[in-house]
A and B are shown apart, each in its own frame.
Chain A
Amino acid sequence: MRSTWLLLAVLLLLCGVVGALFLREEAPHSRGIAHPEHGAMMLGADGESRHGELLGLGWAFAALQVVFFVGLLGLALRRGGRVPMRGALLAGGALHVLAFTMMFRSYEAFARGEPVELFLGFPPPTAWMLLGVWGAPIFFLLLYVLRFRALIWDAESRERFERLVAQRRASS
């Protein structure tokens, strides 16, 4: 039961991050400006001036989302008040937050205009997004696929469920 209070607390913190944005004065190019030569394109312009002070809040927004998602995975797996393989879920969450953290850290240098060495064809923070942030949840996917019987559905549960269905059909 405590875990759902924690989920509510995380939601309130996420609301706090969004609320803080309503109170801040927004930089004129915070959501891009029109490209001077190509009408249907936008420019991001100077990354450091529009994002420099927001990176901490942005990281918190991303990390809180991951914490909330992992909490929901725990809610989905909980049986009899216990979450099986809680350590693995937390490790997966930590991996996901780490991917976000590395992306933010490499973006700091990128936004300052430091020389960029491409990784697999992309600037490092973008590569972290495409490979790290996209890839990290594969951990949970593998957990689902490889530990399906332990986490989701085993023979004992199936037998109990079949009895439940039979009872229900007999009584209706």
Chain B
Amino acid sequence: MEPWRNGIVLTCVAVYLLACVGLGLWALRRTHSAKDFFIAGRTLGVLVTGLAVFSSTLSGFGFVGGPGLVYRLGTSSLWMVVCSSIGFVLAFYLLAKRLWLFSELRQSISLPDAVAARYRSESTRFLTALAILLGVMGYLATQILAMGIVLQDVLQRSFGNVSLELAVGISCAVLVFYCVTGGIVASVYTDLVQGLVMMVAAVLVLVTAIRAFDGGFAGMSRILLADDPEAIGPWGTLGIFGALSWYFVFSLGLCGQPHIVTKMMMNRKLESARHILPLSLGAYAVAAMLWISIGLAMRALVLDGREPSLEVADAAAPVFLQHYAHPVLAGVVIAGLFAAIMSTADSFLNIGAAAVVHDIPRALRGRSLGNELLWARVATVVLAVIAALFALYSGEDLVALLGAFGWGTFAAALVPAVAIGFNWKRASALAANVAIVSSLLINFGVKLFGVSMPYGIDVGAVALLVSLTLFFGISLARKPPEIDADIAAAMDM
């Protein structure tokens, strides 16, 4: 089958993209209101919500950047994976119940809606929506760029020279089509397919990587140990504090990712949360095997002299698939990569559209736009076009800056205000506003001015630590704020 490798990969990608279009058309009939468009009418079951939570968490970074980081730094980046167990636990304990209750009580259709209800503050709603919009634009641009680069590579192998603009145009058209027609309904049902594709791809890659070495992981470890024991030690080459700061920001930070926690407002019954937690964490753990196995395998293969040295670390996954994976597996994994990117990008488009048509207008003029469903669809197209233009023409540095800004900013801005404030009546709107503003200033300031953190500590972790400390300090220093009676009652449950 080797001579047909490129054709098989292209077919797998085409089938996947067509499936997304089909799901978009199917979801169109189920989307009648803004509530359907943004939170799927709160009708989702365990399987769909569980896989939507997991597939929104694992973006294209997990399929390309993750293995690349393992190739480059050894085991350091595995802390971003290892933290998932406590991260999912924290997110479900802190938010699955509160968000669902607030959403049901106040008919909230977005995270800033719930924030405004909790704090009785339009300024907190506005800052939450602004932080979401800034993070979304950065994340979305990097996801669209990644999608375009992957599709360009797939198309070029079959058709010769293909421009990045065309590849971005095709992939964005599919993404926008199903997001516009079906909103979050299409998004979560494509997430279901995407999550399954990712898990199948990860298991197959794990088996392939193990079979590439005598003794499987033990064989890889011996090669890595002979070259540099630290690379396969618990901290990797980055060192102890870089690794542990990732543990902090990626575990607790999960509670502040709006594209993930918003899914907790969408399940039909609160009782489903007890099944959604193990499902989403289990699925994530399976899919993360791709991250771990490809990264370690490629580092060991290069050190063993079986593969030439890579020029860029991010080539680890494509090179491994090209040389070690059966053509059908390569096709499934490339489709899985698209799935990983799109499942995150569609969530961003949806919460970004909610910020533009619902949250920011409500914060500024007390009501959202008329005919919200129509404007949500328009905003989805506009956001995707802006992000695509931004990805193509703003220069790599700016895209990388905003992309890196994403997770840490969401974590530092929203963990205090949302994850903690929804569980602590003493938390005040002022404290939430200060936490959000300080996180934006630290994350942007450190990146813009090139400030270096000691011992490789992650900037997002420092920003999160500062915003949490300010949030607790300010709330404890002031008298308890007034909370609406229904919200206070929900917080007592």
Q: Which A residues have a C-beta under 8 Å from some C-beta of B?
A: 1, 4-5, 7-8, 11-12, 14-15, 18, 21-22, 24, 26, 30-32, 35, 37-47, 50-51, 54-55, 58, 61-62, 65, 68-69, 72-73, 75-80, 96, 103, 107, 110-111, 113, 116, 118, 120-123, 125-126, 128-130, 133-138, 140-141, 144-145, 148, 152-153, 157-158, 160-161, 164-165, 167-168
Contact = CB atoms under 8 A, between A and B. Distances in A.
Given A37-B309, A123-B229, A80 B244 contact: no
B278 interface: yes
Contacts of B104: 161, 165
Nearest to A134: B82
B148 to A, nearest CB: 23
A166 B489 CA distance: 13
Interface centre among B92, B235, B251, B420 (most CB of A within 10 A): B235
A107 B94 contact: no
15 contacts: A8-B472, A21-B241, A32-B239, A41-B71, A41-B309, A51-B240, A62-B244, A72-B94, A73-B90, A75-B94, A76-B94, A116-B229, A121-B218, A141-B278, A160-B493
Given A4-B426, A107-B234, A168 B455 contact: no
A121 B271 contact: no
A122 B492 CA distance: 46
Contact of A44 (B89, B239, B465, B489): B239
Interface in B426-483: 426, 454-457, 462, 465-466, 468-469, 472-473, 475-476
Given A5-B476, A21-B454, A72-B420, A161 B493 contact: yes
Interface in B398-428: 419-420, 423-424, 426
A142 B58 CA distance: 23
B233 A152 contact: no
A75 B424 contact: yes
A40 B311 contact: yes
Contacts of B489: 160, 164
A50 B218 CA distance: 26
Contact of B274 (A35, A44, A148, A167): A148
Interface string B217-243: 110111001011111111111111110
B105 A168 contact: yes
B311 to A, nearest CB: 7
B180 interface: no
Interface residues of B, number: 92
A145 to B, nearest CB: 5
B270 interface: yes
B228 A44 contact: yes
A123 B296 CA distance: 14
Interface string B283-307: 0000000000000000100110000
A8 B251 contact: no
Given A121-B221, A140-B89, A61 B472 contact: no
Contacts of A69: 86, 90, 251-252
By Cβ-Cβ distance, the 3 closest A-B pairs, closest first, are A44-B230, A121-B217, A32-B237
Contacts of B215: 121
Nearest to B252: A69
B362 interface: no
A54 to B, nearest CB: 6
Nearest to A79: B492
Contacts of A12: 469
Nearest to B461: A18
A103 B462 contact: no
Contact of A30 (B88, B299, B302, B456): B456
Contacts of B312: 40
Nearest to B85: A137
Contacts of B281: 141
Contact of A140 (B74, B93, B252): B93
Contacts of B82: 129-130, 133-134
Contacts of B462: 18
B310 interface: yes
B311 A39 contact: yes
B248 interface: yes
A126 B234 contact: yes
B457 A129 contact: no
B302 to A, nearest CB: 6
Contact of A47 (B93, B230, B271): B230
A153 B271 CA distance: 7
A84 to B, nearest CB: 12
A30 B225 contact: no
